[in-house]
Amino acid sequence: MIQLHTPKASRNQETGRLSFMGSVSPAGVRFRDRGGEGDGTSRRVPGTFSVVPAPMMQTVRRCLLVTSATLASLALTAPVSLAAPSPSPSPAASGSPAASGSPSAAASKPASPSASSSVAPPAGMSSVGGTRLGQAGTQVAIAGGAPVLPKDLTARSWIVADAESGDVLAAHNAHWRLPPASTMKMLFADTVLPRFPKATVHKVAPTDLAGMGSGSSLVGIKEGESYTVHDLWLGVFLRSGNDAVHVLSAMNGGVTETVRQMNEHAEELQALDTHVVSPDGYDAPRQVSSAYDLTLFARSGLQKADFREYCSTVTAKFPGETKKNKKGKTTRGTFEIQNTNRLLSGDYDISQYPGIAGVKNGNTTNAGATFTGVAERNGKVLLVTVMNPEKTDHNEVYKETAALLDWGFQAAGKVTPVGELVAPKNTAQASAQPGANPSSSEGSGQAGGAGDVSAKPVAGAVTEDGSGGMWIALAVAGGLLVLLAGGGYLVNRRWPLPDLVRRRR
């Protein structure tokens, strides 16, 4: 029996707010004895990268309301001559994906993914989520009263985003393709977690543990022992156990098949900077991701109750090895495992971050320290990803994350977003299809309703004396109102996370 250190009432429950997207997934070892630091997937040696250095929403909503009122007035009073032009709202007014920086042909995934070993980001980064996110350096639009960004940020890449609205408040080289380390396990979990009920029991075969990299972080899985899927996911999230990842991959058809599914899922999430080679995030040639993509993985994973439970669990009991006692009776004990996310569990030089609720950390030779965290304060939920700080101080990745979270909570509503976290392909396509907008459904039962400016009955309504011009004006205005309502729906649409689960000691 696994004992979680958390109130029973809060376990794995979908409570409060609804999910922002439908699922796009198919239906006692001491840490320092394993090599590595943090939750490293390989031994910690000197890294290969040596140097690295709301008002907006309210304004758009007000503009929509003012424009709608103006058009309504115009429709009732304008001469026929003003009714002739067809509506042509700008992308910004209609809330179209193009206006918000959705992927375009120019932002497609490069054919040959590779990690940049230079000290500067490449010139041609992706512009998924907005053109500014594809630019090198720090991107932020400080407005009146907004705090300045924290000093002494040394990460090669980072991003601060509103987890619910998707607004990117600030970013630094957001699309720089870098080794992800164990933060790649967020994509692994988002892909594989829905495939197996947590009560499923699996007996570990020797082949299940084959192929793990030297110095991998381990939770302590033993060949011939049986574990529940629940046990294995605790091992993945708390101890970043590559052994648990490989066992789950074996259950899922093998590492090769799991990697294929992960790459497919990354593409569905529009995480086009990502190329998966190893499901556990172990350093491998051509394995890359970005701060932007890691944030997409976290945002998608947090829609799943089990994902939220595991990534926010601080400590748990993990099954040990089956042994015989002095009386010859077979027994199997447990040992405690602790989450290596130091903003969740704390450490001697850093405290638990107020409101923290996950997500995942990592550390390898090539990647350095990486981390994605989610925290909530006063109803605002922020996601921050930090990749490879130049400073090598103990827990530096968490200290920079905490500083960015503090800034984000203070700056929310006082900065103009520099981009957005895009929706998965299926969600974006559903929003773009005719009839997907609830605002356009009213009155659609009648042919030639006001929502369809091209309907033949409206064109045929013109009479010889020209009195039909007023009807054209009304039709045009109605069409504009529907489009603006659609824009208002897209602008006002929030993708709320379910209530975050916190597993505290």
- Active site members: 182, 185, 240
Residues 96, 18: Cα–Cα separation, whole Å? 24
Residues 95, 492: Cα–Cα separation, whole Å? 10
Residues 281, 362: Cα–Cα separation, whole Å? 8
Check: CB of residue 365 under 8 Å from CB of residue 358.
no
Check: CB of residue 35 under 8 Å from CB of residue 43.
yes
Please provide the DSSP assignment of 203-260 as one string: EPPGGGGTTPPTT-------TT-EEEHHHHHHHHHHS--HHHHHHHHHHTT-HHHHHH
What the block records as the tokens of 200 is 């499923």
Query: Based on C-alpha coordinates, what's the Rg of the chain?
Result: 26
Please provide the DSSP assignment of 369-431 as one string: EEEEEEEEETTEEEEEEEEEES---TTHHHHHHHHHHHHHHHHTTTB---EEPPPPHHHHHHH
What the block records as the tokens of 322 is 């089956």
* Eight-state DSSP code of residue 359: E
Where do we find the tokens 């993914």?
113
Alpha carbon 60 to its chain's center: 25
**CA separation (Å) from 13 to 19, 96, 182, 193?**
12, 34, 26, 16
**CA separation (Å) from 110 to 115, 125, 159, 290?**
12, 10, 22, 13
Residues 73, 78: Cα–Cα separation, whole Å? 8
Residue in 21, 106, 14, 15 with CA at minimum distance from that of residue 421: 21
Residues 438, 453: Cα–Cα separation, whole Å? 18
